[in-house]
Amino acid sequence: MKEEEILLRFEAKLQYIFRDISLLKMALTHKSVAYDGVSKAKSKYNERIEFLGDAILEHIISDLLYHHEPELSEGDMTKMRASIVCEKSLSNAMKRIEGHQYVYLGKCEIQNNGRFKDAIIADAFESVIGAIYIDAGFDVTNEIVLRLLDVEIAMALSKKEFNIDYKTRLQEILQKHGTVKIEYILIEESGPEHDKTFKVELLFNDTKIGEGIGKNKKQAEQQAAKYAYERHK
């Protein structure tokens, strides 16, 4: 299938037509493509536009929660927003429109089933949102985000638990004992640049109470907190 046809098909899934189709190509291009050879070294990848998309997503969801849930505290809105824009939520939203099938990956990442990794899919979702924002502005982006994340937003607003923040839950339990010292220490980082694995150790008052592994430090910290939480609750 030709590249132009691939992008047109994704636009149909997205229900948005880009004025500058190169923005969409960049948003769907993972950095692992760079490892396929010198000929592709000058390709544009989605890391920078992902950064923008992440900020736009948080703004849109924050605005929605502020106006839709006037009685929620800052802390509750923060937790609810986190459940909507977390890695798993964004990955699920991208999969619903089969967006993971259109991400450009390097051969190594394809062999490692990168097309089905939540981290890569969620990053691509954020990148696409960033691309739409550049291409069409805030109002259009806002409308598309609310449509694509309708399931996650509905679950959050109905107070259904979608994504558990184990770090916060564990901290609430441990702080019942008074002032405590909680540290997440990165003890190992392995794998190629485009597919790293992180290992984190969790210390409570200088005593190890958990350990976690993830594809990024945040994920590893959550795994360590989950381990400890399930033994302290």
* Two tokens, residue 132: 């739409």
Amino acid found at 226: K
Nearest in space to 184 (alpha carbons), one of 216, 214, 220: 220
Compute the distance between CA of residue 109 and CA of residue 33 in angstroms, rounded to an integer. 9
Q: Which of 50, 54, 109, 152 is catalytic?
A: 54
DSSP single-letter state for residue 35: G
Compute the distance between CA of residue 221 and CA of residue 214 in angstroms, rounded to an integer. 8
Q: 47-68 and 138-148 are packed helices; what angle lies between their axes, rounded to 10 degrees?
A: 80
CB 51, CB 165: distance < 8 Å? no
Helix (H) or strand (E) run with residue 219 in it: helix 217-232
Q: Which of 109, 123, 126, 152 is catalytic?
A: 126
The length of the chain, given as a count of residues = 233
**Residue 123 among the catalytic residues:** no
Compute the distance between CA of residue 167 and CA of residue 178 in angstroms, rounded to an integer. 17
9-to-29, 67, 147, 175, 176 alpha-carbon distances in Å: 16, 35, 18, 51, 53
**Residue 54 among the catalytic residues:** yes
Which residues carry out catalysis?
Answer: 54, 126
